[in-house]
Chains A and B, each alone.
Chain A
């Protein structure tokens, strides 16, 4: 039996609740070659350098084919990118110039002065209504699940509204997303029979999800409706011509990303604050700290723990290692955000941390498209939760976690409460 690398250990399901000790080990080798040929980068400066390095590709089609030989002694594993490449590229798996063009086409319909500077901020009252409604529903309860009853419904409702996806279809794509995510594993357990058997299901789910998105886009092509997807289909700016496949792929990306990451971020924020009563009390006393506070929560428990679609298109010398041309590169944001060379006392939750340029939303040209929306949602949700929930206590610590490593988050966060304030 070959000893597992720190990275492999960090990816084991058993360590999902606390991968940080393994990250610490991992950072001793900032750029660590894994048995499968992947290069895992775990330190802040190196990740930032690669995020800005034009010799690093995000296009999964440029990954070597077939996948690197599995480590000795392990069973033949499916290439990790299989479920991703069955779709056309979206902005997250594209390089410039296609990436730049498509992102530029999508951006005006979402955020960004000068086109729609108020779109996100105008959503605030709606977000507040949703959050208040969710908290109202908890009235009379003594135990709640902060994931199912709070963290999950908010982002889903908001993203459906922003994109123009019928909310009644939500249970369908929720299950597709869950199935797809559960079939993706980047750790030593990927070769297990269980995960291998889930792969087909995952592929099927993506297929059906894609079909759903394609039909929705078709409907909007015939009859424009509210939301961003319709606007993208009926784009009549100077730059048009996203192919149908690329449109579908980007629509999936937006539905998916608007879903998964914010859920985990809210869940983790509640969990983290309940674990740090001093910070919780401080935030309750000084609600204005919610803005820097959410940034710290993003650093502390990054919603996206790492990203897996990058590769070197040239030999890249970094931190004493050469990442060879063609090698897949994993960027471990969750580790970088606790790199003591970048953040003083990284294991301390400091809601007033200065110079907190975390990688919770990445950096460079693939910087999170949805960051402004995610920030607003979490700020409102966490702020209201603290204001209205009386005496919240964590029931189970650590709580059960989802299977997926990238979108790491608790499956449930049970909280005992005394009541809900008005």
Chain B
């Protein structure tokens, strides 16, 4: 038998009889399962999820669900096709044994696999003080249950809401509060809302918009503690400038934490920033060598992106979950040279304060910004981000139909500043610094050491950093 024929036979056999396990039952996990079946995989498929629910959609949670338009349990993701899988919902994966090729579950069961897809996503970072986080009225927003509870609390209605953190989730929650006519105070450590994702220039605009909508926005401040009443309900937030804000609902929107703890000791390149993988979703092991049986997709994946100097990017975006899952699924049931890269131009959208905010590319990769279309004053505009004379991202406020144009420019390494539009030019088209904050340095990263002396024995090892 020739080598290609042998490979084709292997692929055929695997597709017919292989065992695939997907850990993570959200958007990426579901779409990967569907794609596997679409690719002709008829072997056994197991999907493990720690939440009891079927896969549901998250974008509506911070918008329609919070407003009370849509009940939280009406967000189940539509099925694109029959996946015919064994669903293990409500049980957490607690470990991975790569030697035995088994996933360990919290209930003690071991699930064997031939190929594994890691799609465990992220979770909301909780308020760091556990006693304060346990107070009634303190919420975070990531899951369907979170949304249902917060919606109920907002409908009560509270006398004031404090939102800690003005990223996208925080800003969307704040927007809903204002739509419900609830007094709301936002406390943001950075100089303005959305600075991490879109930079200080856009952040200033977002700040104005919030203030125009009656938000009590406090930037450059943190919340030092939360104070509860004798009944254990939150009543007050103490800010780092010594002031206090009375509130009976507090929403901590402090960003996300990648769900990688269960992979500890598995010898994968996983950690604070996610699970490293190649552009085809194949996981790297701890030494940076690609594995053949483990794949990653969705929020938890980080892979090199050709458009961004091969930097490893983790993208917590909806289409990244879908398209990354599809690419990984394809590669799971194929062999080289039929691998497919996941070369998404990142993009996200957000609805807040009656505005449609959309972005393509990776704004923080840029250091300059230029307004290219529309009017900042009217809050309908497009702006491009650049780095070293090249356009790397764009953002639009109520101008989303132009995103396609900027996307194409970015894909083709178009110039920065981009060619000026023929009409509807903003008054000032000079590039200015985009004002991204310096990336924060995580404190909990483990130390990495190399062990072994002989080159053939050299290997990496993570060691927890002593506190």
Asked whether any CB of chain A lies closer than 8 Å to the CB of B181, the reply is no
Asked whether any CB of chain A lies closer than 8 Å to the CB of B264, the reply is no
Q: A49-B408, A97-B375 are in contact. Are A364 and B401 (CB under 8 A)?
A: yes
Asked whether any CB of chain A lies closer than 8 Å to the CB of B424, the reply is yes
Asked whether any CB of chain A lies closer than 8 Å to the CB of B405, the reply is yes
Q: Are A96 and B424 closer than 8 Å at their CB atoms?
A: yes
Asked whether any CB of chain B lies closer than 8 Å to the CB of A270, the reply is no
By secondary structure, the A interface counts as loop
Q: Are A52 and B401 closer than 8 Å at their CB atoms?
A: yes
**Of listed A53, A314, A367, residue having the most chain B CB within 10 A:** A53
CB distance from B35 to the nearest CB of A (A): 14
Binary contact readout A46-61 vs B (1 if CB under 8 angstroms, 0 otherwise): 0011001111110100
Asked whether any CB of chain A lies closer than 8 Å to the CB of B303, the reply is no
| Separation of A140 and B33 alpha carbons in the complex (Å) | 55
Q: A49-B408, A97-B375, A100-B380 are in contact. Are A54 and B424 (CB under 8 A)?
A: yes
Q: Are B380 and A54 closer than 8 Å at their CB atoms?
A: no
Q: Are B401 and A54 closer than 8 Å at their CB atoms?
A: no
Q: Are A56 and B422 closer than 8 Å at their CB atoms?
A: yes
Q: Are A54 and B375 closer than 8 Å at their CB atoms?
A: no
Q: What residue in chain A is nearest B408 (Cβ atoms)?
A: A49
Asked whether any CB of chain B lies closer than 8 Å to the CB of A273, the reply is no
| Separation of A62 and B423 alpha carbons in the complex (Å) | 10
Binary contact readout A17-51 vs B (1 if CB under 8 angstroms, 0 otherwise): 00000000000000000000000000000001100
In the assembled complex, which residues on chain B have CB atoms less than 8 Å from the CB atom of A314?
Answer: 419-420, 422
Q: Are A313 and B404 closer than 8 Å at their CB atoms?
A: no
Q: Are B419 and A55 closer than 8 Å at their CB atoms?
A: yes
Q: Are A52 and B424 closer than 8 Å at their CB atoms?
A: no
By secondary structure, the B interface counts as mixed
| Separation of A138 and B297 alpha carbons in the complex (Å) | 58
Asked whether any CB of chain B lies closer than 8 Å to the CB of A260, the reply is no
Q: A97-B375, A100-B380 are in contact. Are A54 and B423 (CB under 8 A)?
A: yes
In the assembled complex, which residues on chain A have CB atoms less than 8 Å from the CB atom of B408?
Answer: 49, 52
CB distance from A114 to the nearest CB of B (A): 9
Asked whether any CB of chain A lies closer than 8 Å to the CB of B402, the reply is yes
CB distance from B119 to the nearest CB of A (A): 25
CB distance from A44 to the nearest CB of B (A): 13
Q: A54-B373, A364-B401, A364-B404 are in contact. Are A97 and B424 (CB under 8 A)?
A: yes
Binary contact readout B350-394 vs A (1 if CB under 8 angstroms, 0 otherwise): 000000000000000000000011110010100000000000000
Within 8 A of A (CB), among B395-428: 401-402, 404-405, 408, 419-424
| Separation of A367 and B401 alpha carbons in the complex (Å) | 10
CB distance from A39 to the nearest CB of B (A): 15
Asked whether any CB of chain B lies closer than 8 Å to the CB of A301, the reply is no
Asked whether any CB of chain B lies closer than 8 Å to the CB of A95, the reply is yes
Q: Are B402 and A57 closer than 8 Å at their CB atoms?
A: no
Q: Are A96 and B373 closer than 8 Å at their CB atoms?
A: yes
Q: What residue in chain B is nearest A325 (Cβ atoms)?
A: B422
Q: Are A313 and B401 closer than 8 Å at their CB atoms?
A: no
Q: What residue in chain A is nearest B375 (Cβ atoms)?
A: A97
In the assembled complex, which residues on chain A have CB atoms less than 8 Å from the CB atom of B374?
Answer: 96-97
Partner of A365, one of B401, B419, B420: B401
Q: Are A57 and B419 closer than 8 Å at their CB atoms?
A: no
Q: Are A96 and B423 closer than 8 Å at their CB atoms?
A: yes
Q: What residue in chain A is nearest B422 (Cβ atoms)?
A: A313
In the assembled complex, which residues on chain A have CB atoms less than 8 Å from the CB atom of B372?
Answer: 54
| Separation of A55 and B423 alpha carbons in the complex (Å) | 7
In the assembled complex, which residues on chain A have CB atoms less than 8 Å from the CB atom of B402?
Answer: 52, 54, 365
Q: What residue in chain A is nearest B400 (Cβ atoms)?
A: A365
Q: Which of the four size classes fits the interface of chain B?
A: 10 to 19
In the assembled complex, which residues on chain B have CB atoms less than 8 Å from the CB atom of A95?
Answer: 422-424
In the assembled complex, which residues on chain A have CB atoms less than 8 Å from the CB atom of B380?
Answer: 97, 100
**Of listed A59, A100, A313, residue having the most chain B CB within 10 A:** A100
Partner of B404, one of A52, A57, A312: A52
Q: Are A55 and B421 closer than 8 Å at their CB atoms?
A: yes
In the assembled complex, which residues on chain B have CB atoms less than 8 Å from the CB atom of A55?
Answer: 419-422
| Separation of A384 and B424 alpha carbons in the complex (Å) | 46
Binary contact readout A78-111 vs B (1 if CB under 8 angstroms, 0 otherwise): 0000000000000000011100100000000000
| Separation of A314 and B374 alpha carbons in the complex (Å) | 18
Partner of A52, one of B405, B420, B422, B423: B405
CB distance from A302 to the nearest CB of B (A): 20
| Separation of A307 and B378 alpha carbons in the complex (Å) | 30
CB distance from A59 to the nearest CB of B (A): 7
Q: Are A54 and B404 closer than 8 Å at their CB atoms?
A: no
In the assembled complex, which residues on chain A have CB atoms less than 8 Å from the CB atom of B419?
Answer: 55, 314
Q: What residue in chain A is nearest B372 (Cβ atoms)?
A: A54
In the assembled complex, which residues on chain B have CB atoms less than 8 Å from the CB atom of A100?
Answer: 380
CB distance from B96 to the nearest CB of A (A): 36
Binary contact readout A321-364 vs B (1 if CB under 8 angstroms, 0 otherwise): 00000000000000000000000000000000000000000011
| Separation of A56 and B423 alpha carbons in the complex (Å) | 9
Binary contact readout A285-322 vs B (1 if CB under 8 angstroms, 0 otherwise): 00000000000000000000000000011100000000
CB distance from A422 to the nearest CB of B (A): 36
Q: A49-B408, A52-B404 are in contact. Are A57 and B424 (CB under 8 A)?
A: no
CB distance from A363 to the nearest CB of B (A): 8
Within 8 A of A (CB), among B427-446: none
| Separation of A89 and B375 alpha carbons in the complex (Å) | 22
In the assembled complex, which residues on chain B have CB atoms less than 8 Å from the CB atom of A52?
Answer: 401-402, 404-405, 408
In the assembled complex, which residues on chain A have CB atoms less than 8 Å from the CB atom of B378?
Answer: 97
CB distance from A86 to the nearest CB of B (A): 22
Q: Are B405 and A53 closer than 8 Å at their CB atoms?
A: yes
Binary contact readout B328-342 vs A (1 if CB under 8 angstroms, 0 otherwise): 000000000000000
CB distance from A374 to the nearest CB of B (A): 19
In the assembled complex, which residues on chain B have CB atoms less than 8 Å from the CB atom of A364?
Answer: 401, 404
**Of listed A49, A96, A313, A314, residue having the most chain B CB within 10 A:** A96
| Separation of A297 and B14 alpha carbons in the complex (Å) | 40
Q: What residue in chain B is nearest A316 (Cβ atoms)?
A: B419
| Separation of A57 and B373 alpha carbons in the complex (Å) | 14
Within 8 A of B (CB), among A133-167: none
| Separation of A97 and B375 alpha carbons in the complex (Å) | 9
Q: What residue in chain B is nearest A311 (Cβ atoms)?
A: B422
In the assembled complex, which residues on chain B have CB atoms less than 8 Å from the CB atom of A57?
Answer: 422-423
| Separation of A59 and B423 alpha carbons in the complex (Å) | 10
CB distance from B408 to the nearest CB of A (A): 6
Within 8 A of B (CB), among A400-418: none
In the assembled complex, which residues on chain B have CB atoms less than 8 Å from the CB atom of A48?
Answer: 404
A and B contact pairs by CB, cutoff 8 A, 22 listed: A49-B405, A49-B408, A52-B401, A52-B404, A54-B405, A54-B421, A54-B423, A54-B424, A55-B419, A55-B421, A56-B422, A57-B422, A95-B422, A95-B423, A96-B373, A96-B423, A96-B424, A313-B423, A314-B419, A314-B422, A364-B404, A365-B402
Residues of B at the A interface (CB closer than 8 Å) are: 372-375, 378, 380, 401-402, 404-405, 408, 419-424
Q: Kindly list 8 other residue pairs between chains A and B, CB separation below 8 angstroms, not including A54-B424, A97-B374.
A: A54-B423, A56-B422, A59-B423, A95-B423, A95-B424, A96-B373, A96-B374, A96-B424
- Sorted nearest first, the 8 A-B pairs with minimum C-beta distance are A313-B422, A54-B421, A96-B424, A52-B405, A95-B423, A52-B404, A55-B422, A365-B401
